[in-house]
Structure 1
Amino acid sequence: MSTYKEIHLVKRPHDGKIGPHLFEQKTLPIPTPGEGEILIKQTYMSLDPAMLGWMSEDRESYIPPVELGEVMRSSGVGEVVASNHADFSVGDKVMGMTGWREYVVSDGSGFNKLQDGVTEEMALCVFALPGLTATTGLYNFGEPKEGETLIVTGAAGSVGSIVGQLAKADGLRVIGVVGSDEKADWIVNELGFDGAINYKTDDLEEKLKTLTPDKIDVFFENTGGPIQQHIFNRMNTHGRIVVCGMIADYQSDNPAPGPNWIPLIKKRINIRGFAMPDHWGEVPKLLQKLTPYVQQGKIKYRAHTIEGLDNAEEGLNMLFNGENKGKMMVKL
């Protein structure tokens, strides 16, 4: 009998650290789809910083946690290898919530077929959570206008790189904050950003002044960290701050304090936190907005791919120590 592997969450990361003690791998017989169901062989699985939150016990977050004993949550792409569903055929490439497993049986709910010409890597890098998140945050809350200045932290990451490219295509001055000279070179010379700040080595205040002579109108926050205060102090009147992630604080016992609220009043700054589950109903509209940029060659991406489900935990840790170069995913 043919078997497959899946990984279950069995403990909470109480110390904020991700390790093998949190997971249990199981080997099971490959299932057979029932009436109205499909069997999907997962080929690429997404790894995202939000997974740390999904593992926690927090019941007040934007999405319920993964329960202990359940398959770890993730999105992915795969191929339909057996079908008893009228809308799906063997050989269809699909994308949806797959989990940390090699095969998944589904009734088709939440799975969408990949369009012709869209590879598995492109689907996860652009048309899945990264592109949807970037498009939602930038246009729903950032309200970018031609000629303005936008700064994005985590600029070489899957979301930040798309935010910057969209803004650049719309005629904004775009500055990215990254954690290495290699990433700085990539966003400037490959993606077309107007400048980059290496938060690990640059004089943050001076570099920020040099790169934002007209100060900052839109701040797309993905990371937190010390540069947050410097950016906040450079905001223009009626600026917009979009808070998407705070990866620098996710594993911290004492998250950094936020900015003083008095400048918010003086400058009438709008701050908005958001999470994609509130916007699933907008996905068709978001894709309609994003797709033309991709078709016109205005969105580049890169994937950081590791091999094998066994290495998913290692890949997830790479997101938090900054070792990844591009969208983190597992090839199964």
Structure 2
Amino acid sequence: MTTFTAINLIKRPQSGVIDSSIFDVVEKQIPTIAPGQVLVKQNYMSLDPAMFGWMSSDTNSYIPPVALGDVMRSSGIGEVTVSNHPDFVVGDRVMGMMGWQEYFVSDGEGLNKVTAPLPDESILSVFALPGLTAVQGLFNVGKPKKGETLIVTGAAGSVGSIVGQLAKAEGLRVIGVVGSQEKADWIINELGFDAAINYKTDDLDAQLAAAAPDGIDLFFENTGGPIQHLIFDRINAHGRVVVCGLIADYHNEVPAAGPSWLNIIKRRITVQGFTMPDHFHQVPELLEKLTPYVMAGKIKHRTHLLNGLTSAIDGLNLFSTGANKGKLIVKL
């Protein structure tokens, strides 16, 4: 085989519509690598909500948008097939930002060796961006304390599910907000959450009152949406809000209005947003923090696997519908 498939972004999505018209599926020649480079065959590719921002035209963000005509951005895991780099040998399993393509050429920067004896799907589901994001957001931003009450939106998602399990392991009461009864059952019965709220049901305020009788100390926000206001109304004095994602607003030209600042003043609430590119230099210490929980069996996950590179196009829409069950991964 002398060619491979790649997918380039050629248009910006309009009104949140993700379909084949904004991408170009191309065949490329497998390159001859130069000194100091490696050729990686990507085996599994991660799909993440952040991609909606990467495809937009917004240049006032934490990372530049994907340039039109470039390979769509994504992280993945694969195997070194050719190496002219002193730090990598053929057969090394590696992880990094490889993009929507079957092969990837790298000078080694941002490429991390994978040594954990776990399947590729587990590595992408736990030790890649989901786990790193959960650790950074919960511990370094949220600063949880034993006995506190945490609520996490998108609780059955790749990040939210890990946040909740880490918080439970630290002795917090954990409430998860999800979009279906199946997901509610999963986070309670399988992951050990204390309570679950399906935001598509009625009487959300009453459900919050029952789930958090002593109020909420820590709010890990992944989704946005109307329930955000109800949660804010129940945050205790000196509570903290960790803003990781707002999937409900990614398709809106005008974001929904946020909660009133009156509560921030009256209850002295700390609100902090974060993004992982600011913390890539901390990956070794974040993995050091996460690994003992995983090895102790305290972190469970499930993978929603799609097959074939082009399945990524329609697969992105699963984030908007909430139809994904677990970490979205494409098998190449």
**Common topology (TM > 0.5):** yes
Task: Give the superposition deviation at 1:87.
Answer: 1.5
Give the SS at the match of 1:309: coil
* Count of matched residue positions in the alignment of Structure 1 and Structure 2: 332
Give 1:229 deviation, angstroms.
0.6
Q: Distance in 1 between matches of 2:181 and 2:32?
A: 49
Matches within 5 A, 1:56-205: 56-205=56-205
User: In 2, Cα distance between the equivalents of 1:36 and 1:142?
Assistant: 40
CA contact (8 A) 1:3 1:29 kept: yes
CA distance in 1, matches of 2:320, 2:15: 14
1:18 and 2:9 matched = no
Q: Tell me by how many angstroms 1:311 deviates.
A: 0.8
CA deviations over 1:188-224 (Å, ceiling 9, x no partner): 0000000100001242101110010111000000000
Q: Distance in 2 between matches of 1:87 and 1:261?
A: 51
**CA–CA separation in structure 2 for the residues paired with 1:99 and 1:216:** 39
Give the match for residue 294 of structure 1: 294
Greater shift, 23-32 or 224-233, is seen at: 23-32
Q: Is the 8 A contact 1:176 1:197 kept in 2?
A: yes
Give the Cα–Cα distance (whole angstroms) in 1 for the partners of residues 59 and 185 of structure 2: 40
Deviation at 1:255, TM superposition (A): 2.3
- Residues 239 and 268, structure 1, Cα contact 8 Å, conserved in 2: yes
CA contact (8 A) 1:137 1:242 kept: yes
The TM-score normalised by the length of structure 1 is 0.98
Shift of 1:33: 1.9
Q: In terms of mean alpha carbon deviation, does 209-218 or 26-35 score higher?
A: 26-35
- The 1:116–1:138 alpha-carbon spacing in structure 2 relative to 1, beyond 3 Å, is closer
Worse overlay, 314-323 or 43-52: 314-323
Give, in whole Å, the separation in 1 of the partners of 2:34 and 2:232.
55
Mapped partners of 2:64, 2:116: distance in 1? 34
1:207 aligns with 2:207: yes
Query: Is the 8 Å Cα contact of residues 145 and 172 (structure 1) preserved in structure 2?
Result: yes
1:108 maps to amino acid = G
Q: Distance in 2 between matches of 1:152 and 1:160?
A: 6
TM-fit CA distance, 1:68: 0.6
Q: Which secondary structure does the structure 2 equivalent of 1:248 belong to?
A: helix
For residues 202 and 80 of structure 2, the distance between their equivalents in structure 1, rounded to whole angstroms, comes to 49
Residue 34 of structure 1: aligned partner = 34
Name the stretch that deviates more: 285-294 or 184-193.
285-294
Q: TM-score, normalised by structure 2?
A: 0.98
* Contact kept in structure 2, 1:176 and 1:187, CA below 8 Å: yes
CA distance in 1, matches of 2:279, 2:88: 26
- Distance in 1 between the 2:25 and 2:254 partners? 32
Cα distance, 1:163 vs structure 2: 0.4
Which amino acid in the other structure matches residue 295 of structure 1?
M
Q: Is the 8 A contact 1:315 1:329 kept in 2?
A: no
SS at match of 1:123: helix
Partner of 2:234: 234
**How far apart in 2 are the matches of 1:119 and 1:15?**
37
Whether the aligned pair in 2 keeps the contact of 1:153 and 1:220 (CA below 8 Å) is yes
SS at match of 2:4: strand
Aligned-partner SS, 2:301:
coil
Q: 1:188 to 1:202 in 2, by over 3 A?
A: farther
CA–CA distance in structure 2, aligned partners of residues 134 and 201 of structure 1: 27
C-alpha separation between the residues in 2 aligned to 1:281 and 1:34?
Answer: 26
Per the alignment, in what secondary structure is the counterpart of residue 310 of structure 2? helix
SS in 1 for 2:224: coil
Give the secondary structure class of the aligned counterpart of 2:94: strand
Counterpart-to-counterpart distance in 2, 1:128 and 1:28 = 27
Q: 2:278, 2:93 → 1: CA distance?
A: 26
Residue 36 of structure 1: CA displacement?
A: 1.8
| Displacement of 1:308 | 0.2
1:85-131 CA deviation, whole Å, 9 max, x = no partner?
A: 22111111100010000001111111111113132111111111111
Q: Secondary structure at the match of 2:81?
A: strand
State the AA in 2 paired with 1:251: H
Aligned match of 1:304: 304
What SS class does the counterpart of residue 242 from structure 2 fall into?
strand
Query: Which residues in structure 2 correspond to 1:214-229 (within 5 Å)?
Result: 214-229=214-229
Name the % identity. 65
8 Å CA contact 1:14, 1:56 repeated in 2: no
* Residues 270-312 of structure 1: per-residue CA shift (max 9 Å, x gap): 0001111111121111111111111111111111010000111
- Corresponding position of 1:267: 267
Kindly report the root-mean-square deviation, in angstroms, between the aligned alpha carbons of the 2 structures.
1.0
Whole-Å separation in 1 of the counterparts to 2:187 and 2:82? 42
CA–CA distance in structure 2, aligned partners of residues 234 and 96 of structure 1: 39
Partner of 1:249: 249
Cα displacement string for residues 161-186 of structure 1 (whole angstroms, at most 9, x for unaligned residues):
00000000000000000000110011
